[in-house]
Structure 1
Amino acid sequence: MNLRLNTLAEMVDRSARIADIGTDHAYLPIKLVLEDKVDYAIASDIAQGPLKNAQDNITQAGLQTKITTRLGSGLSTITLQDRIDTVVIAGMGGKLITQILTDAWRNHYQFPTLILEPNIGEPGLREWLVQHSYQIVAEEILAEAGHTYELIKAKKVMQEVKLTPRQLLFGPLILQAKNEVFYQKWRSQLYYQQKLLVNLNKARNKDLGHIEQIEQEIALIKGELNDEG
Structure 2
Amino acid sequence: MNLRLNTLAQMVDQGARIADIGTDHAYLPIQLVKEGKVDYAIASDVAAGPLENAEKDIVTAGLKNKIETRMGSGLETISKEDRIDTVVIAGMGGKLMTNILNKAWSKNFHFATLILEPNVGEPTVREWLSVHRYQIINEKIIAEAGHIYELIKAQQVENAISLTDKQIFFGPKILKEKNRVFYQKWRDQLAYHQKLLLNLNKAKEKDFAHIHKIEAEIKMIEEEIND
TM-score range normalised by the length of the shorter chain: over 0.9
**How far apart are the structure 2 equivalents of 1:2 and 1:61?**
18
Q: Which letter does structure 1 place at the counterpart of 2:78?
A: I
Q: Distance in 2 between matches of 1:44 and 1:57?
A: 14
Q: Does 1:125 find its partner at 2:125?
A: yes
Match of 2:89 in 1: 89
Structure 1 partner of 2:18: 18
Aligned-partner SS, 1:173 = helix
Aligned to 2:112: 112
Q: Cα RMSD (Å) of the superposition?
A: 0.4
Deviation at 1:143, TM superposition (A): 0.0
The residue that corresponds to 1:191 in the other structure is 191
Q: Distance in 1 between matches of 2:225 and 2:141?
A: 16
Counterpart Cα distance in 2 of 1:37 and 1:182: 29
TM-score, reference length from structure 2? 1.00
Task: Determine what percentage of the aligned residue pairs are the same residue.
Answer: 67
Give per-residue Cα distances to partners, 1:27-62, cap 9 Å, x unaligned: 000000001000000000000000000000000001
**Deviating runs (4+, > 4 A) in structure 1?**
none
Amino acid at match of 2:192: Y
SS at match of 1:135: strand
**Shift in Å at residue 114 of structure 1?**
0.0
Query: What is the letter of the counterpart of residue 4 of structure 1?
Result: R
Structure 1: runs of 5+ lacking an equivalent: none
- Offset at residue 107 of structure 1 (A): 1.0
Q: Within 5 Å, which residues of 2 pair with 1:131-170?
A: 131-170=131-170
Q: Report the secondary structure of 1:4's partner residue.
A: helix
Residue 49 (structure 1) aligns with: 49
Equivalent-residue separation in structure 1 for 2:49 and 2:125 (angstroms) = 28
How far the C-alpha of 1:204 sits from its partner, in A, is 1.0
Structure 1 CA distance, aligned partners of 2:153 and 2:95?
A: 17
Q: Distance in 1 between matches of 2:72 and 2:30?
A: 20
Q: What 5-or-longer segments of structure 2 have no aligned partner?
A: none
Q: Which amino acid aligns with 2:13?
A: D
